[in-house]
Amino acid sequence: MKTVDNFNFENKKALIRVDFNVPLDADFNVTDVTRIEAAKPTIIKVLEDGGSAVLMSHLGRPKGEKRDDMSLKHIVDKASEILGVQLKFVNDCIGSEAEQAVAGLEPGEVLLLENLRFYNEEEKGDEAFAEKLSKLGDIYVNDAFGTAHRAHASTTIVAKFFPQNKCFGYLLAKEIEAIDKVLASGEKPVTAILGGSKVSSKITIIENILEKVDNLIIGGGMTYTFIKAQGGKIGDSICEDDKQDLALNIMSEAAKKGVKIYLPVDVIAADDFNNDANTKVCDVTNIPDGWQGLDAGPETLKNFKEVILNSKTILWNGPVGVFEMPNFAKGTIAVGEAIEEATNSGAFSLVGGGDSVAAVKQFGFEDKVSYVSTGGGAMLESLEGRTLPGIAAILN
């Protein structure tokens, strides 16, 4: 796997695909700098070698329209502050204006190109557009895991114009290694914790990881489809009735492969879907009508903790309760605490996929697990066993 460590960037211009698709407030201030910070080590490596960096990214979904509210100029000040170098900015990402800006770059300088998605050709993976981008650098570096599952011009197609001079940035390399640790090279026992509301959104992940894990903890709204399929009473809990056969099939496949499945045994049930509802602890197979399970119960959390603490490799994808409401966040926090404890004892822990990343950030576990993935969709497709186009383009 070629990374920026395989290249000396002295007097070279690195064309780096970063993911600066960051949230902005009404005054165009960056409200979350995680993605900019994640790209910093790769950019600094190029500059310290004596090279210059040409950064390309998208921001939002302008759908081919040049929109001031989605201009990357709004992030120049914040990115300059984080990188410790004043970014130059150019109002286009291809053509003579961009080419002139690149030509004037001195070693140690960083240029940010305008939003790639101001051109429809970016998302279409247009080859002519990719070729124009390729004129802006000597070495192509992909460091945008969040878009690696898209065969866009800047993430995939452009790589073919750098047959020998292409590599992964540090962030993308770390993402690949983290996923490999869980799916291929991880020390056993390997435990996957899958939460969230729907079995249907996790089917392909479950099917792929059953070959790789020793334990599968299932939590969150998915629980109730499994419980109902086995004849349990789930009251008014969320359930995908048309996925009950699938749930039984997953349990049967797991048993054949020697994978232990851990479902909740008790839940915190509520008489309404709101934070101030009345609550009680219920056996997961006997939730009364008019009540719904909204968080994992105390016995369940004891069981989950025991499994997690006995694991050497842990994947966490999805919360085990409605963590957005404080009264139903205790289960998700307890799982985070158990993973933190296991990590401190030497386990490798990877958190990835939308809501679990949000939960980890909200409850302060970000620096207490081994790795938090930056790419929601890309992470999920990797766990499904797919080869991501942006990764394949560098490896080919």
- In angstroms, rounded to a whole number, what is the distance separating the alpha carbons of residues 91 and 226? 53
Q: Which residue out of 67, 377, 385, 386 is catalytically annotated?
A: 377
21 assigned to a ligand binding site: yes
* 355 annotated as ligand-binding: yes
356 annotated among ligand-binding-site residues: yes
- Distance, CA of 36 to CA of 83 (rounded, Å): 8
Q: Which secondary structure element, helix H or strand E, spans residue 95, and what is its range?
A: helix 95-103
Do the annotations mark residue 386 as ligand-binding?
no
Is 126 one of the annotated binding-site residues? no
Question: Is 20 a known ligand-binding residue?
Answer: yes
**Can you tell me the distance from the alpha carbon of 394 to that of 140, in angstroms, rounded to the nearest whole number?**
9
Q: Are 269 and 277 in contact (CB under 8 A)?
A: no
Q: Order of strands, edge to edge, in the sheet holding 139-142?
A: 88-89, 110-112, 52-56, 13-17, 139-142, 166-168
Residue 216 near residue 192 (C-beta atoms within 8 A): yes
- Residue 117 marked ligand-binding: yes
Encoded tokens for 36 = 């900019």
Annotated active-site residue in 64, 108, 354, 385: 354
Do the annotations mark residue 84 as ligand-binding? Answer: no
Residue of 2, 124, 198, 233 marked catalytic: 198
Residue 324 annotated in ligand binding: yes
59: annotated binding-site residue?
Answer: yes
SS3 (DSSP) at 65: coil
Is position 64 annotated in a ligand binding site? no
Q: CA-CA distances (angstroms) from residue 300 to 174, 266, 282, 335, 350?
A: 33, 6, 11, 10, 22
Q: Parallel, antiparallel, or unpaired: how do β-strands 279-283 and 266-270 relate?
A: antiparallel
The annotation status of 353 as a binding-site residue, yes or no, is yes
Q: Is 202 annotated as a binding residue?
A: yes
Query: Is 385 among the residues known to form the active site?
Result: no
Q: Tell whether residue 35 is among the known ligand binding residues.
A: yes
35, 174, 181, 212: the active-site residue: 35
| Residue 150 annotated as part of some ligand binding site | yes
210: Cβ contacts below 8 Å, ≥ 6 apart: 216, 250, 253, 254, 257, 259
95 carries an active-site annotation: no
Q: How many CA atoms lie within 13 A of 8 on its CB side?
A: 2
Q: Is 327 annotated as a binding residue?
A: no
How far is 30 from 52, CA to CA, in rounded Å?
Answer: 24
- Tokens encoding 233: 């009473």
Is residue 40 among the annotated active site residues? Answer: no
Q: Tell me the C-alpha distance between 250 and 61, whole Å.
A: 37
Residue 331 a catalytic site member: no
Q: Cite the annotated binding site by residue number.
A: 19-21, 35, 58-61, 117, 150, 202, 293, 324, 353-356
Q: Cite the annotated binding site for (2R)-3-phosphoglycerate by residue number.
A: 35, 117, 150
- Please list the active-site residues: 35, 198, 354, 377
Q: Cite the annotated binding site for ATP by residue number.
A: 202, 293, 324, 353-356
